[in-house]
Chains A and B, each alone.
Chain A
Amino acid sequence: MKRSRSHLARVALLSLLLVLALAVGGCSRPLGQSGEGGIEPAAPVAPEAPVPEAEEPTEPDVALTAAAGAEERIQIPVGVAHALSGPIAIYGEPISQGIELAVKQINEQGMLGDGREIKIYQEDTAGTKDQAIAAFEKLINQDEVVAILGPTLSNSAFAADPVAQEADVPVPVIGSSNTATGITDMGDYIFRTSLPESDVIPNTIEVVKEARGIEKVAVMYGNDDQFTQSGYEVFVDALQANDIEILTSEPFAKGDTDFSAQLTKIKNLEPDAIVASALAEEAANIMVQARQLGIPQEVFFIGGNGFNSPKLAEIAGDAAEGAISGAAWFIDNPSPENQAFVEAYRAEYDADPDQFAAQAYTAAMVLAEAIKNAGSADPADIRAALTEIENFPTPLGEFSFDENRDPVHTPVVLIVQDGAFQLFEQ
């Protein structure tokens, strides 16, 4: 008797579940569709990624010879492969905006001359290796672009750049956010406009040593993250090159929140400054705890690109005052090219550009200059013209490529004053 009752209960329960599930499934359909309509605008909108039509005169050879027809605008196809979806899209978005802004200016001002203009073919890499490879293959084989700007991540670059380098007709690639070592070693068609940490950090140390005369420092670094670990190695080399004594090197792990043990040790060693190869959020906590432990404000912090975030002052507050950081670009840099760029970007997107946008803008501008100088839309000619770029005025400063196709320009040194980064005046 009891058994059959519990059995009954179970059957009743199951059928109830089923009915409810059906009801939910049924009523969610029409409304779900209206929901889908709502999500569209939220997705990053690729501004113009039309399917190329066969009639369009996008053949590079045509562009070369048709220069005589002054009325007709000749379109030079350029590929843009950046992360527009996924977690990396927060970087990919300013990058693609920087490129769009540059291309808009190039075409409006007729920078290429002879009625030629750049036409963008945009592909989403989603921040993954395989999507980056697929994007590169489509851009090269289907859209027949003469150059590619991208990809967003160094990891994607290691995967996708060889596609362009080893194509039947190799295509130059300009990365604007890849800072890892060895990117341009992949081949003679690979360029970048993003200054690696190994250029930014030594400059920072040199400038600070000259201005403040520091002699001994303590170093803290994240030892389980490639970015902070390689930053640490560059710091050590730069400190040694400038005859600055390293009192101790204290590692920490990703996700650590308590740094007081390391900082207590550092406090007793009485350094002139503390070098931290850390991301902004960790660095901010290190600063707060250092001040709590009584490390005086005169002992300032030095960091690399990781410091370069508004989060630093937001989390650390007063503890961040005086922190010094190197960077490839600074928004308030007074050079006319930079001011013009920042103004145009604000007018176009109603937001402040970041370093990624500036470097991407520079990449597009440098490419346009090379296409103009080459007087040709042949990838090989463009590559040759890129290597000859020298002291070209950009928002990053006077820009050149060195013999390894890495960027050459003077990095900036910044200091936190009144809760925000300012240019470091010696």
Chain B
Amino acid sequence: MSAWDLFLAQLPQQIVNGIWLGSVYALFALGYTLVFGVLDVLNLAHGSVFMWGAFFGLLCVTTLGLPIWLALPVAMLGAGLLGVLLERLTFKPLRQLSLGVAVLWLGFLVALVGIFRLFAPLFNWGLVVTGLIGILAGLWLDYRGVRSGPPRQSPHLAPMISSIGASTVLVTLSQAAFGAQQSRFPFDTFPNRVFTLGPVAITLLQITIFILSLLLMAGLSYFVFRSKTGKAMRAVAFSERTAALLGINVDRIYLQTFFASSALAGAAGVLHGLAFNAITPFMGAPVELKGLTVIILGGLGNIGGAVVGGFVVAILEVFSVAAGQSNFRDAIVFTLLFLMLLVRPQGLLGRSLEKRA
């Protein structure tokens, strides 16, 4: 078999591989790009929320015994709330201080002390519970805007660095909770059906994930472009100040953006965990890098761009392996990324920087 024949023979299956890998990439990148579009912040803890989403799903299935179709929304909710907490802990204090933020941070520190010293059970559980109450009280106080300080100026890169820190904490916490070993969903979580159509083998799980991803993408588009909240988000993305003048509660929009973005990350985490049987505290990092590539390729902050970018990166990867270059897979993807940025610095679907929203 010549190299070309071999390439042709595997082509149909490789296209299927690429499309379904692309749907996972796209789902992850959507939330990533959403936060960037609205807040102008690169949230590098997105991968950690993704990882926690996978663990939330796993806990629902193993500990609570929920079926997977119920575990997915629960995990999305959990990841969304984690995202909200993340926003208040790491991004909000850089924009504005308030009594709520102070109480929140205190609660967080107390809870951390409790978590990292789980050897005198009663005392530590007391600390954790006190901390959690503090966190909830802080969130509530902050939400009500009690004793808010003036807006603050922080260095341009501060939110990004802050999110790196948050990411590290989240990974460490999950390592402490679940260990460094790889876990997987139980074998009977999802029916293991393989369909063979000529040269192509495709599993029920792959089809489901592809369809679910499309649905979630469509849902997000509808939310952002049609709903009132979505319109407010786009207004904030366009100009925070103008939006505020028009009576939009910018702070609340930030929360909603983070919730939506993190819930999507959670969904991506559960689906990724189901698809590849590899749930570890470190599963976020490689996907994070891919996600970054995807959103830069698609156009930063552009929702359609994240979808297109996800499929382009996945197909490129798969084809560079098919053409015989597994060694250079990532190098090929990034070279093309460079070339693309030479021609279109704003990304595939990106508009000029000023009108990104």
Contacts and interface: CB of A to CB of B under 8 A. Distances in A.
Contacts of A284: 277
Contact of B322 (A34, A261, A285): A261
A255 B281 CA distance: 11
B17 A264 contact: yes
B99 A24 contact: no
Given A257-B283, A311-B181, A264 B120 contact: no
A316 to B, nearest CB: 8
A264 B201 CA distance: 10
B87 interface: no
Interface string B100-136: 0010001001100100010110011000000000000
A16 B17 contact: no
Given A13-B99, A262-B326, A34 B6 contact: no
Interface in A271-301: 281, 284-285, 288, 292-294
Given A32-B117, A264-B10, A285-B278, A292 B102 contact: no
A281 B182 contact: yes
B277 A285 contact: yes
A9 B147 contact: yes
A42 interface: yes
Interface string A1-24: 000001001100100110011001
A241 interface: no
Interface of A: 6, 9-10, 13, 16-17, 20-21, 24, 28, 31-32, 34-35, 38-39, 42, 87, 223, 248, 250-253, 255-258, 260-262, 264-265, 267-269, 281, 284-285, 288, 292-294, 311, 315, 317
A35 B117 CA distance: 8
Contacts of A315: 182, 184, 277
A13 B147 CA distance: 9
25 contacts: A9-B99, A10-B97, A10-B149, A16-B102, A20-B106, A28-B113, A35-B117, A35-B119, A35-B123, A38-B119, A39-B119, A251-B326, A255-B285, A255-B286, A257-B278, A258-B276, A261-B321, A261-B322, A264-B13, A264-B322, A268-B10, A281-B182, A285-B278, A292-B201, A315-B182
Contacts of A87: 180
Interface string B203-220: 100000000000000000
Contacts of B286: 255-257
A353 B110 CA distance: 41
Interface residues of B, number: 50
B321 A250 contact: yes
Interface of B: 1, 6, 9-10, 13-14, 17-18, 21, 97, 99, 102, 106, 109-110, 113, 117, 119-120, 123-124, 147, 149-150, 180-182, 184, 187, 194, 196, 201, 203, 272, 275-278, 282-283, 285-286, 317-318, 321-322, 324, 326-327, 330
Contact of B13 (A9, A31, A251, A293): A293
Contacts of B275: 258
Contacts of B181: 281, 311
A280 B13 CA distance: 26
Given A9-B149, A35-B119, A268 B6 contact: yes
Given A35-B120, A264-B14, A292-B201, 4 more contacts: A20-B106, A24-B113, A261-B18, A292-B194
Contacts of A17: 102, 106
A261 B14 contact: yes
Given A17-B102, A265-B321, A311-B181, A317 B13 contact: no
B205 to A, nearest CB: 8
A223 B119 CA distance: 41
A262 B14 CA distance: 9
Nearest to A35: B120
A311 B278 CA distance: 12
Contact of B123 (A34, A267, A281): A34
Contacts of B317: 261
A279 B114 CA distance: 35
Contacts of A288: 277
A288 B110 CA distance: 43
A166 B52 CA distance: 51
A6 B150 contact: yes
Contact of B318 (A28, A35, A261, A311): A261
Nearest to B286: A255
